[in-house]
Structures are given as C-alpha cells and as structure tokens.
Amino acid sequence: MNANEPLAERLRPKHLKDYVSQAHLIGEKGALTQHLKHGLIPSMIFWGPPGTGKTTLAHIIASESERPFYALSAINSGVKDVREVIEKAKQSGGLFTTKNPILFIDEIHRFSKSQQDSLLQAVEKGWVTLIGATTENPSFEVISALLSRCQVYILNAFEKTDLETLLNRALETDEFLSKKNITLKETKALLRLSGGDARKLLNLFELVVNAIDSDTIEITDALVMDKLQNSTVKYDKTGEQHYDIVSAFIKSIRGSDPNGAVYWLARMIEGGEDVKFIARRMLISASEDIGMANPTALVIANNTFQAVSTIGYPESRIILSQCAIYLACSPKSNASYKAIGAAQQMVKETGDLQIPLDLRNAPTKLMKELGYGADYKYAHDYANNFVDQEFLPDSIKNTRFYEPGENAREKAHREFLKNRWKSKYDY
C-alpha cells in the first residue's frame, strides 16, 4: 500500500459485500446483485452525485463477473480513443465467450453526440458492456439511441450513517491511520464540508490528520475548521452551496431583480459551474415563473441553452448574463405551472376517465359505426374558428385549470376566454 495514494483510493472496496450504501442496488434483492448472481450484465448508466461510488461499482462488477475492464474518461478521450478501446475489447473478449468486456466511461455526459454515436454499434452488437457514470440527468446528456440500449440506475447521496461508517472503517482498516490513536469525537464539520461526497470526505479527513504532528488526535468540529478553512473552496459545485446559490439566483429572477440575478450568476461562473446547468435552470424558470406573461422568455432561454452548449466559457458568460437580465425584467406569471399541477391532481383523484366519443379518433369502419368522432365539431367550420363544445370527460366538465394572471398579456387571454367560454370564464 502506498502512503502517497489518497485515503479514498486506499479504501476503495474490492467486493460488493464491502460496499457501503445503495441497498436498492446491491442489497439482497437489488438489481445489481441479481445481475451478478445470474451472470447477465446489461449495459448501464450510473447517475448520481459525485463521490457515491459509481466508479467503484463498475470495478466491482467487472471483478466479480470476471470480465476484462477498460476505462475511459470523457474529459480527455475522443472518438479515436473510443474506437481503439472497443477494438481491444473485441479482441480480449474472444469469439466463444459470453463474458464480453466492460467498457467504463467516466463523466459520459461530457461526450459529444459523435463520441456517443461511436459507442452504439459496440453496445448493440455486444462487443462490450458499457457502464457510463454521470452526475447529470442522462435524459438530457445521453443521446436517446444510446440511452435506449442501457439500464439507468440512480445512486443516492450518502446518508450521515453511511459517511460515519466510512470514517470508522478508515480508522480500523487503513494501514497508516490505524497506527495512530485517533478519536472521532465530532463529525458535523467533516460531513458538511464534504457535501455528501464520500471521496471528498475521506480525503479531507486525511488532510486533517496529516496536518497534526502527533499520533494522538481527537477529531472535533473546531479542529476540522481550523485545519481546512484555508484549503476548502467557497463555492463547491457539488455540495450545499451549489444548491443554495442556484436557489438565490432563481429567486432573484422570480423577484424581478436583475442585480441579484447577475451577482449570483457571477458566483456560479467564478466557481466553475457547468454552463448547461445554469442555462437549464433559466429554461425552467422561463416557463415556471414567467410563462404566459411573456412566452418569448422561453424562446430566449432555449436559445441561450443551445448557444452556451456550443460556445462554453468564457464567452458564454455574456449570453448567460443577457438571458438572466431578460428573465428578471420580464413580467411574471406562474399560471401555467399551477394549471398543470391542478390537472395532474385531478387525474390522480379521478383516474382514467372515459374519453368522450366525439373526441375519439375513428380510423376504422367499426369505430365510425360505434360513434367515434361522430358529434365532433370542427372549429374552423364556424365563425371566428370557434364553436362551444366540451373537451373534458363528463364527470369533470366545465372544470377550470388555467387561471390567467394579472399582467397585460394574460388579461388579454382572460378576455379571449371570457368571450368564448362564458360557462367557464364568466368573471
């Protein structure tokens, strides 16, 4: 064992039984446990916060299934690297073995579309079993063709008890720490500074221990803060401040304060936050907080997301700033947000209500004979392209989900709806 190797690496478990947390995956009835038990390993994507053991699980799966293991990092690998590794994997797998090699790609969300495309044939043909790791939602970051060929497994952030188990394990089993007389009196500061990241927790713990010139050490919150206050960053894009700052950013936009929005945006930019994460949050805000008061906000936010995805830092900061200011200065309405919430609640309460016959499609003769679509009134055949008819199931007819807000655009919506739907919008 190498003392220069970080503690987190020294403690990396080699077997599933030594792995901490993720019982839904590695418990007795967990999906990964069952895959290993039956020897059938599908291609999969591990999605979860940093330091939750995605890489470790990939290594364990390869080891316990006795498969060749190849690894790439999306940060410094291109299409050429992918093809070279796939070719090696094909050769190592042989022609008569069912245990095809495992190709692990860390931070797969950083792969471009062309890089992800280069994986498709190898996965589809079974030349490799792909295991990708990502901290970002794979629905947004992994191309649909590749995603459809993989199982997605979510890794949850570590619980407090899980992290304390890791610290105690380090004291008991690590060759170097076990030789010292270390007492864990308090863990709150270590847990807070690590932000639930097990790798960061162990490495911070080792930093504290190594900063004390004694073999007898009592770990307290005050000691941890004293030893780490100059070595920890003020913006941790994977920890608590990540969520607090983006919350302040969105609330500034919702509160129509461009100054607050730009300040919190600057905090995220200076902290190295992913530009697409920032743009995605503004895209959500454009619909949730502005909505029908200014529908163009959604167009601006979507164009911003596309632009910064192409450009990246440092130039994208200008585009992000423009969008943030535009959103902050837009009139606000959450009417669309409330409407879909009310409609979903209605569905949960009433279940699958029958679709009225006049609204049903009638592609066959039998359906027409049964009356499908028979009484439907084609709006364009009537004056002003409108005719009064009910579009909801009978048991909830005349229900109103959309309540226009008190802004210029939605006041026009209210008048439009009132003139047509007197039964529903008779204010």
Tens digit of pLDDT for each residue in 244-261?
A: 888 899 999 999 999 999
Asked if residue 208 belongs to a domain, the reply is yes
Length of the chain: 427
**Same domain flag for 192 and 224:** yes
Give 155-189 pLDDT, tens digit per residue. Answer: 988 889 999 999 999 999 988 888 889 999 999 98
- Span 77-94, mean pLDDT? 79
Cis bond upstream, residue 314 (ω within 30): yes
DSSP letters, 221-280, are HHHHHHHHTTTS-S--TTSHHHHHHHHHHHHHHHTT-HHHHHHHHHHHHHTT--HHHHHH
Instruction: Indicate whether 205 and 265 sit together in one domain.
Output: no
Tell me which H or E stretch contains 221.
helix 221-228
- Does 427 map to a domain? no
Number of domains making up the chain: 4
Query: Do both 97 and 38 map to the same domain?
Result: yes
pLDDT higher than 80, residue 137: yes
In this structure, the answer to whether residues 72 and 146 fall within a common structural domain is yes
| Residue 339 counted as domain residue | no
Domain range holding 205?
Answer: 160-228
- The pLDDT of 278-282, averaged and rounded, is 94
Cα gap 280→140, rounded to integer Å: 10
pTM: 0.58
Q: Are residues 32 and 148 in the same domain?
A: yes
Interval 109-124: pLDDT, tens: 888 888 898 899 999 8
Average pLDDT of the chain, as a whole number = 86
What CATH number does the domain containing 140 carry?
3.40.50.300
pLDDT category at 98 given cuts 50, 70, 90 is low
Single residue among 170, 203, 228 that ends a domain in this structure: 228
Left (φ > 0), alpha (ψ -120 to 50) or beta: where does 41 sit? beta
149 and 164 co-located in one domain: no
User: What is the tally of helices (H) and strands (E) in the chain?
Assistant: 20, 7
- The tokens for 88 are 């090696």
368: domain CATH number is 1.10.3710
The residue with tokens 């799966």 is 61
